[in-house]
Amino acid sequence: MANFTLAHLSDPHLGPMPTPPLPELIGKRALGFFNWHRSRKALHRPEVLATLVADLKAQTTDHIAVTGDLVNIALAAEFGPARAFLDRLGTPSDVTLVLGNHDIYVRGAEVLAARHWGPFMRGDDSEPGFPFVRRRGNLALIGTSTGAPTAPFMATGWLGDAQRAKLANVLAALRQEGAFRVVLIHHPPTLPHKSPHKRLTDAAEFRDIIARHGAELILRGHDHEHALEWLAGPDGARVPAIGVPSASVTYGGRHAPAAYNLYRIDGASGAWRCEMISRGIDAAGNIVEQRRQTLLG
Ligand SMILES: [Fe+2]
């Protein structure tokens, strides 16, 4: 495969928060609304996100992956502006989205997500549903959804039986084809997760699938931090699972400042090369290269 550059950003938690109609502001959403105004709106800044996206757009990329949490409490009025954000990144064929827990914050939000963002989270077969597969030459993007409505104060997520069964089949088939398989998943497959109330509840089962069928790269969000974890793959292979900070967090807070990753992928099945370049915001508000690391090859 000719050199392919994949960009990854996550968890923009887009503001400003619309003023919700009162009937929408009950239960978990009321807590989330209060939490946004108390602390999160100072953390996730539109101007930081705009600076980061401008830097990303100035790079040469072939595709952009976004691993969820576009919105905050899944109000109906949050989905349209989030669609506009996706459109600014690129066309649905050049941008792939998977869902996070804030996107499916309450029951019914999946309908809004599908209506507004559907073209960004559909496979080449155009069928809605997860996991979906997009082929770009020898690269295969596999989009999963771990977003699910949960109780107040919970930010867990899961794939569930049906997605896991399909994921195993998809990874096995793409392995036969010699594709460079990139799994997109919002929640980290870390076991145990440092915060049980934020964990992927079927992380062990996900890791079993990777151990049996492998993948070349797993990209995730959720924890708002840089992270690199190596998962066991088949035949002694090691699969990098990589977390990226939120794309909108200011410098100097308790969360990692805004960043995104670029993956330069080259080679062929059995001899892949993949280099990761992290770019993020510094104290002066500029986007700078933070790190460069060879993952494969
Ligand atoms: Fe998030």
pLDDT tens digit string along 234-254?
Answer: 999 999 999 999 999 999 988
The Å distance, Cα 37 to ligand 1 centre, comes to 16
Query: How close are the terminal C-alpha atoms of the chain, in Å?
Result: 14
The Å distance, Cα 297 to ligand 1 centre, comes to 31
The HSE-up count of residue 121 (CA atoms within 13 Å, CB side) is: 26
For residue 223, the Cα-to-chain-centroid distance in whole angstroms is 11
The two tokens of residue 277 are 């370049």
Q: What pLDDT does 48 receive?
A: 98
The two tokens of residue 46 are 């539109």
Q: What pLDDT does 169 receive?
A: 98
The Å distance, Cα 271 to ligand 1 centre, comes to 34
Q: Spell out the domain ranges in the chain.
A: 4-296
The two tokens of residue 26 are 């009950």
Q: What pLDDT does 153 receive?
A: 87
The Å distance, Cα 246 to ligand 1 centre, comes to 7
The Å distance, Cα 2 to ligand 1 centre, comes to 33
The Å distance, Cα 19 to ligand 1 centre, comes to 21
CB atoms within 10 A of CB 183: 26
* pTM score, whole prediction: 0.97
Q: What pLDDT does 83 receive?
A: 98
The Å distance, Cα 221 to ligand 1 centre, comes to 7
Please give the Cα distance from 179 to 21 (Å, whole number): 47
The Å distance, Cα 135 to ligand 1 centre, comes to 27
Torsion-angle region of 80 (φ positive above 0: left; ψ -120 to 50: alpha; else: beta): alpha
In contact, 197 and 155? CB cutoff 8 Å: yes
Q: What pLDDT does 1 receive?
A: 65
271-281 and 63-66 strand pairing:
unpaired
User: Following CA atoms 58, 64, 66, 71 in sequence, which dihedral angle do they give, to the nearest 10 degrees?
Assistant: 50
The Å distance, Cα 270 to ligand 1 centre, comes to 34
Listed in sequence order, the residues at least 6 apart from 146 whose beta carbon sits closer than 8 Å to its beta carbon are 68, 99, 100, 101, 157, 158, 159, 185, 186, 187, 200
Fold of 4-296: Purple Acid Phosphatase; chain A, domain 2 (3.60.21)
Amino acid at 71: V
Give the residues of the chain that fall short of pLDDT 70.
1-2
The Å distance, Cα 186 to ligand 1 centre, comes to 8
The Å distance, Cα 91 to ligand 1 centre, comes to 23
Q: What pLDDT does 211 receive?
A: 98
